[in-house]
Chain A
Amino acid sequence: MNRDEAERKRLLAEFAKCRSCRFCVDVCPTYQASCGVESFSGYGRMQIIKYLLTGLLEFDDALTYCLYSCLQCRRCEVVCKSKGQNLDICDLIQRGRRLLSGRLARGGRHAKL
């Protein structure tokens, strides 16, 4: 199993811990600025990475915008922790980006996850 494959499995295991309470959605500054599009929230971004990793979504411009517009401000994590779930949401999004960034820099428009 190569490094990316192992990371993919670890990330999916982390995403499975999310109980979809969506408390992290309202507090996200990008969600507020985009007038309520859930893809621009911690929960939405975790879902996007999950479905990219499982192959249900294909990596395109809209998804790139959603993933790379995360501010990494960790406001979602404060709420997640206060609700007892304790997911490091920004860290998970960052790890998803790490899987993507190398391919994006090499492949540009044709990059795939």
Chain B
Amino acid sequence: MRNSKLLISQALKTISGNLERTGDPLGLRSPYWTRWTRRIDLPRHGSPLLFTARMYQMLPFVVQATEMAEKAAPLVPALSVKTIAKVVEIAGAAAAEPILRLRARRARDLRNRAETALAGIVAALAAAGILPGYLYEKEPYSGVLLYDLGMEAAAASAARGVHQTLKEAGVDTVITVDPHTTFMLRQVYPRYIPGFRLPVRHYLEVLAGVGAMPKPLRRTGLPVRIVMHDSCVMTRDLGVVAPARTVLSRLGIEVVEPENTKTDTACCGGPVEYAFADLSRSISCIRAAELAGACRNVLVACPICLINLMKHEKDLGIRVWDMGELLFHAFASRLREAAPQRPSEEPDGKGAAGVRAARI
């Protein structure tokens, strides 16, 4: 609690400064968010567009940044917070990127899981006859953290930037992969941008809405029963509850409901991790224990929930799955089927994939 005022002040400055300087909340310049596409080749243009907003890709960096902040905490009584904050601010622009990159390499397991989740989402969409476009290095960040922190002017500026990018790419439908970005695009952007009416659909809504989603190609490794952790944003902000359950039933997985579920779900503690790691851990511990009491396999469909609940995997003997990981197990071979027809070789992006992209 001590120095919270300065801590929040510094967090606000750092995040908005990073975004202003590099367009990335972590202040990283090289496009770490495209690494997952090594597994699959998506068209660079066309609609629908897959918009990840870098959320899954930044997980290893977020974990490392939080750990570094936690380790620096004992130094606070010795040096003043202001001194530390100033050093971080000055060094941040030059030194943060290589340090974060180096440390994030150690979080290889998390990076693999995040990349697998994204590949799984694309594989399932491909199985449903939808091959979305992807902006690769041009993909912007949604500005959701700025909005959550109350930095409205900066969030509005980020929203306008995203809108411009999507407009230039000729996108008429967006498929999102996480609840936070979906919330921003669907409910916040229209407040900032008059006339913003882009159809925005979460991938689970798309998959649940497809009449004939094929059965899983491979069942090996898929759990038989799983307890569902609903995301607060997904259920209470967006009112999306049924699609995840529809997709699970199509995968042949039995859903176990915990005590607090659907619109009465309990938070994973993720939203305050950027500044109050102890509090965040206490909240996630309470939720993880509740879920572990229902089933050892826990399902999330949000990158923030994933990193917060997976901290307790060893302690509680649970396995936290992201929905994308399940989809990867079920439909991974679809990626190989989609790969040979490379639409990126066609500059106008209206190649095979553009034609094959089903209407959603």
Q: Which of B3, B7, B236 contacts A77 (CB 8 A)?
A: B236
Interface of B is mostly: helix
Report the separation of the CA atoms of residues A69 and B6 in the bound assembly, to the nearest whole angstrom: 14
Interface string of B1-33 (1 = CB under 8 A from A): 111111111101100100000000000000000
Number of residues of chain A lying within 8 A (CB) of chain B: 34
Binds A, one of B55-63, B192-200, B201-209, B265-273: B265-273
CB distance B12 to A105 under 8 Å?
A: yes
Interface string of A97-113 (1 = CB under 8 A from B): 11111101101110100
Residues of B285-300 whose CB lies within 8 A of A: 286-287
Count the A-B residue pairs with Cβ separation under 8 angstroms: how many?
Answer: 108
CB distance A61 to B232 under 8 Å?
A: no
Q: Which of B1, B149, B152, B232 contacts A75 (CB 8 A)?
A: B232
The residues of A that contact B13 with a CB separation of less than 8 Å are: 105
Question: Within 8 Å of chain B (Cβ to Cβ): is A43?
Answer: no
Report the separation of the CA atoms of residues A101 and B275 in the bound assembly, to the nearest whole angstrom: 14
Which chain A residue shows the least CB distance to B16? A105
In the assembled complex, the CB of A94 is this many whole angstroms from the nearest CB of chain B, namely 6
In the assembled complex, the CB of B130 is this many whole angstroms from the nearest CB of chain A, namely 31
Report the separation of the CA atoms of residues A102 and B9 in the bound assembly, to the nearest whole angstrom: 9
In the assembled complex, the CB of A50 is this many whole angstroms from the nearest CB of chain B, namely 17
Which chain A residue shows the least CB distance to B236? A74
In the assembled complex, the CB of B330 is this many whole angstroms from the nearest CB of chain A, namely 30
Which chain A residue shows the least CB distance to B275? A68
Given contacts A30-B283, A32-B286, contact A73 B236 (CB under 8 A): yes
The residues of A that contact B283 with a CB separation of less than 8 Å are: 29-30, 32-33, 71
The residues of A that contact B269 with a CB separation of less than 8 Å are: 29, 33, 71
Interface of A is mostly: helix
Interface string of A55-72 (1 = CB under 8 A from B): 000011110110011111
Given contacts A71-B267, A74-B237, A105-B13, contact A61 B279 (CB under 8 A): no
Question: Within 8 Å of chain A (Cβ to Cβ): is B222?
Answer: no
CB distance B151 to A75 under 8 Å?
A: no
CB distance B5 to A59 under 8 Å?
A: yes
Given contacts A101-B12, A104-B5, contact A78 B271 (CB under 8 A): no
Question: Within 8 Å of chain A (Cβ to Cβ): is B190?
Answer: no
Question: Within 8 Å of chain A (Cβ to Cβ): is B214?
Answer: no
Highest count of chain A CB atoms <10 Å: which of B153, B232, B263, B276: B232
In the assembled complex, the CB of B12 is this many whole angstroms from the nearest CB of chain A, namely 4
Report the separation of the CA atoms of residues A64 and B9 in the bound assembly, to the nearest whole angstrom: 10
Report the separation of the CA atoms of residues A101 and B149 in the bound assembly, to the nearest whole angstrom: 7
Report the separation of the CA atoms of residues A78 and B230 in the bound assembly, to the nearest whole angstrom: 15
Question: Within 8 Å of chain B (Cβ to Cβ): is A20?
Answer: no
Question: Within 8 Å of chain B (Cβ to Cβ): is A86?
Answer: no
CB distance B267 to A68 under 8 Å?
A: no
Question: Within 8 Å of chain B (Cβ to Cβ): is A34?
Answer: yes
The residues of A that contact B82 with a CB separation of less than 8 Å are: 108-109
Given contacts A29-B267, A69-B272, A71-B283, contact A104 B8 (CB under 8 A): yes
Contacts A74-B237, A98-B150, A102-B153 known; list 4 others, CB within 8 Å.
A29-B287, A71-B232, A94-B148, A104-B8
The 10 closest A-B pairs by CB, nearest first: A97-B150, A101-B150, A33-B282, A73-B267, A73-B232, A65-B4, A108-B9, A64-B4, A98-B150, A74-B236
